[in-house]
Structure 1
Amino acid sequence: MIEIILCEDQIQHQKTLEKFIKGILEENSIEYNLKIYKSGEELLNNYPKDIDIFILDIQMEKINGMDVARKIREIDKNKPEIIFTTSLIEYIQEGYEVRAYRYLLKPIKYEELKKHILSCIDEVMNKKNKFILVENKSETYKINIADITYIEIQRKDMSIHTENKVYETKMTMDKIEEELQNHNFYRCHKSFLVNIDYVENIKQYVAILENKEEVLVSRHRFKDFKSRFLSSLGEKLC
């Protein structure tokens, strides 16, 4: 079951998107629950739990979609995906801080929405099912891969950083890099493996994460890392 929120204050756009979303999900035999809100205030005053995808109009009165997204990130961190709909591209740079999955430019076409909402659902399902097991002395931890911000190693002492906790273990960087090769991680330094989804910006030889932590980027990997980071941002605009 996929839980989706649509928040759109223009009735005609709301009806069109509702029709599109239901058509796409039913056409692909996806079980879903779709809730609709007519304003950012209504959504935040009746905040639902365990939502997988928020589809937010940016240009809403009073509380706009960007401010709603910031509140979502305060409440649910990086768990739900956020898709913005907008008529203007000026909000795109501002939206990187809330880790938007996509920006769909109005007027939104059925096939375009279909492509990206199905892709988003795939990512949601992958996140729910992707974990690594980490051992530390007598304890074994199950860590959601999507929660990992970066990994650091000193000799064979490895620290796996998530938003809320750091896990210590003994493992080689090559081994965990291999385990995470199908996810959006990049070996930016011999001692660091970073989740690009959490990178907010980069400066010379440093990646700055959303929580303002800094991860070193080696000189010879900086150009390729920058290219990967920019490519990841570019995928979000449709």
Structure 2
Amino acid sequence: MLKIAICDDNAEDSQNLKKRLESILNLENIDANLLVFSSGEQLIAYMQTSGVMPICFLDIYMKEVSGVDVARWIRQRDNTCTIVFTTTSSEHMAQGWEVGASHYLLKPFTENEVKEALTRCLRLVGYRGKYIELMVNRQPRKILLSDITYVESQNKHCLIYTSQNEELRVLIRLGSVEELLDDARFIRCHQSYIVNMDFVENVQEGDFVLPNTLVPIRRKNRCDIIRYYEDYCIEVVRRRV
């Protein structure tokens, strides 16, 4: 699980950042452990025993040990950690770039600004998200869950459709794919189909409406399936609040 540090001696600011990060991580279905530290000394003590975390959000203006001091300590031991400085002023930005800061967040920040910072960090640490690995054209292929729009069964094969308009043919039963896709966003809506509800735009009679295609919903338990989808949508909205 990805570890992310939040270090700020202002409890209200750190909880605000944690809440925004949690919302983004939940929406993106990213498994991460957010660890909050109230001082630079506390964070350094933790990393001395547990190692440097890949992503650190550091408040610049902290008593005793500042965010820049923590960043310098990190850089003496690790060049790959992505550091985001949170601050009320751009006054010390030059120092931040000197220690290899990846991003700045000026308080008060919006969720979109936090998402931009987090997205950059994830890209820099090489985080690709949850995936399944299958043999495609006799070659192992890692397929991101977030890229799969739906899966269709065809005899002993499955066709996996992606958001990049790929059609991946895999020698595997749909039941086995269902077990691999152990994630809340996927539902087996038909004997021959599994759909990623993040790509569903609407429900039309007996089908889920996806971009440029329809995925059928089986008649048996159709109301339950649609209700499950509606509950999923409500949960997604709730996470954004």
Per the alignment, residue 21 of structure 1 pairs with 16
Q: Deviations over 1:156-206 (max 9, x none)?
A: 121111100221111001111011123421110111000112112112110
CA distance in 2 between partners of 1:130 and 1:230 (Å): 24
Gaps of 5+ in 1: 3-16, 37-48, 58-68, 73-78, 81-124
Q: Secondary structure at 1:31's aligned position in 2? A: strand
Q: 1:22 to 1:197 in 2, by over 3 A?
A: closer
The answer to whether the 8 A contact 1:150-1:161 is kept is yes
Give the deviation of 1:128 after TM superposition. Answer: 3.6
Secondary structure in 2 matching 1:225 = helix
Aligned residue for 1:220, secondary structure, equals coil
Residue equivalent to 1:189: 190
Distance change in 2, residues 1:139/1:19 (3 Å): closer
**Which amino acid in structure 2 is aligned with residue 160 of structure 1?**
I
Structure 2 residue 102 is the aligned partner of structure 1 residue 55 = no
- 1:234 alignment counterpart: 234
**2:23 corresponding residue in structure 1:** none
Residues 142, 202 of structure 1: alpha-carbon distance in 2 compared, 3 angstrom cutoff: same
- Count the aligned residue pairs: 148
Distance of 1:145 and 1:26 partners within structure 2:
26
Deviation at 1:130, TM superposition (A): 1.8
TM-score (norm 1): 0.51
Which one-letter code corresponds to 2:190 in the other structure? H
- The alignment-based identity, stated in percent, is 24
Report the aligned-residue RMSD. 3.8
- Whether the 8 Å contact between 1:131 and 1:142 is mirrored in structure 2 is yes
Q: Give the alignment of 1:156-195 within 5 angstroms.
A: 156-164=156-164, 165-195=166-196
Distance 1:208 1:188 in 2: 12
SS of residue paired to 1:27: strand
| Unmatched 5+ stretches in structure 2 | 5-11, 20-33, 38-42, 44-54, 58-83, 88-101, 104-109, 120-124
Instruction: Give 1:55's aligned amino acid.
Output: E
Report the TM-score, using the length of structure 2 for normalisation: 0.50
Q: Read off the aligned partner of 2:206 and give its amino acid letter.
A: Y
Opposite residue 132 of structure 2, the aligned amino acid is I
User: 1:1-238 counterparts in 2 under 5 A?
Assistant: 20-22=15-17, 27=36, 31-32=56-57, 33=84, 55-56=111-112, 128-164=128-164, 165-209=166-210, 211-235=211-235, 236-237=237-238, 238=241
Greater gyration radius:
2
